[in-house]
Amino acid sequence: MNALSVLAEEEQLFFDTVVAFARERVGPRVSEMDEAALLAPELVPALFELGVMGVEIPSEYGGAESSFFNAILAVEALARVDPSVAVVVDVQNTLVNNALLRWGNADQKSRYLPKLASSWVGSYALSEASSGSDAFALKTRAERRGDRWILEGRKLWITNAHESSLFIVFANADPSKGYKGITAFLVERSFPGFSVGKKEQKLGIRASSTCELMLDGCEVPLENVLGEVGQGYKIAILALNEGRIGIGAQMLGLAVGAFDYALGYMHERQQFGKAIAEFQGMQFQYAKLATEIQAARLLVYDAARLKDQGRDFVKEAAMAKLFASEIAERAASSAIDFMGGVGFTRDFPVEKFYRDAKIGKIYEGTSNMQLATIAKLLQAERKAP
C-alpha cells in the first residue's frame, strides 16, 4: 500500500528512500531488538547518516532543512517495519528539535542543533508518577542558586532516555504560580546530579527505551533555560500538539506494515483450492480495512500540512492521533485473524505489530484526552462569530 496518490514526486522519493532503509537496515534486526528490548547501537548513527534525525534543522546547523511533513513521512516509513525505531525519530523531530527551533535562542541553537543533526539523540521529559494526563501536576522543582538552577525530582516514561544526550526537562520554578511556574530546561546527560534510571519492560515497542530520570540536585546553567522562566507550560502544550501528528504517523505506518504482510500471506495461502484472499468473506474485511487506513493517512497528512502552512492544526492533530491509533490496533488484530494460527506465533511479524499498537492510544495524550480536546475545540468553533 503506497502513498503516491497524496504525495508530491519529491516527497514520494524521500518516503521510498526511508522505506528501503527500514527494510534493508532495520528489518533484519527487528526480532532480535524486540527480544533484547534494546535498540541496535549501529542503527543510531545510521539514522543520522540517513538524515532523518534532523529533518527540519536548518542546513547552517547541519540539518536537512526540510519540512515537518517530511519528518512525518520518515516516521510512517520506519513504522512499517519497526514502530520502535520510528518513535526514536518521532521524538527527536516533533518534540526535541521542534521545541529548540521554536523556543531556543541563538546561543542554544548554535550549541545544540548541530549535535542533534549529527550525533545526539534527544528526549522530552514531562511525565511523572503524579502527572500523566494532568501534565501540569508535576512535582519536579527548580530553584535558582547563583549562576545555576538546581533541579530536584523524578521523571517517568521518558522515551529515548537510554540513548539520549540531551533532555528537555520540565520543572516548576515557582509553585506559588501553579502551572505558570513551569519552566523548560536543556539538560545534558553529563550535568552533575542527573542520571538515567531503570528501563521499563514493556508490552510493545520494546526496542525503544523508556526510562526513569533522576534529578538529585541537578545543576543546570542559567543559559540553559529554554524560552523564558514560566513559559514551560506553553512549550509543553505546543510540542505535544505537534507530537501527536508524529504518533498518528507511527500508527499509520504500523497499520500499513501489518496489513501488507497479512495481505501477502492471504494471496499465498491456499484453502479449498484457492487463495484465501479470493474468498468474498475475506475480501470484504480487508477492503474495509484498507479504506480505514487510507482515511487515517489523510487525517495525518492533513494535520501535518496545516502545521507546515502555519495554520491552526490542534483539532486535526487530535483527530489524526485518535483515529490512526484505533486503526492501527484494528489492523494488527485483523492481520493475526487473517493469518490464523501462524499469525499468533513469533515466527511472523504481525503479533509484534499487535503488541506495538497498544501504546498508540496511551502516550502523548490518551484517546480520552484527544476526544476531550476535539469536543472543546468544536464547542469553541460553534461559539465563534
pLDDT of residue 1: 64
321 contacts 365 by C-beta, under 8 angstroms: yes
Q: Which amino acid is at 16?
A: D
Strands 164-172 and 182-188: antiparallel
Distance CA 374, CA 298 (A): 17
Which one, of 135, 113, 319, 145, lies nearest residue 226 by Cα?
A: 113
Distance CA 196, CA 154 (A): 10
Distance CA 211, CA 159 (A): 7
Strands (E) in 82-133, as ranges, are 121-125
**What does the pLDDT profile of the chain (385 residues) look like in tens digits?**
665 568 999 999 999 999 999 999 999 999 999 999 999 999 999 999 999 999 999 999 999 999 999 999 999 999 999 999 999 999 999 999 999 999 999 999 999 999 999 999 999 999 999 888 887 889 999 999 999 999 999 999 999 999 999 999 999 999 999 999 999 999 999 999 999 999 999 999 999 999 999 999 999 999 999 999 999 999 999 999 999 999 999 999 999 999 999 999 999 999 999 999 999 999 999 999 999 999 999 999 999 999 999 999 999 999 999 999 999 999 999 999 999 999 999 999 999 999 999 999 999 999 999 999 999 999 999 987 7
Residues in the chain: 385
Q: Which of 242, 326, 351, 364 is catalytic?
A: 364
Q: Which domains does the chain have, with CATH numbers?
A: 4-121 (1.10.540.10), 123-230 (2.40.110.10), 234-383 (1.20.140.10)
242 contacts 95 by C-beta, under 8 angstroms: yes
**Residue that is written with C-alpha cell 492510544 in the block:** 361
pLDDT of residue 241: 95
pLDDT of residue 106: 98
364 is catalytic: yes
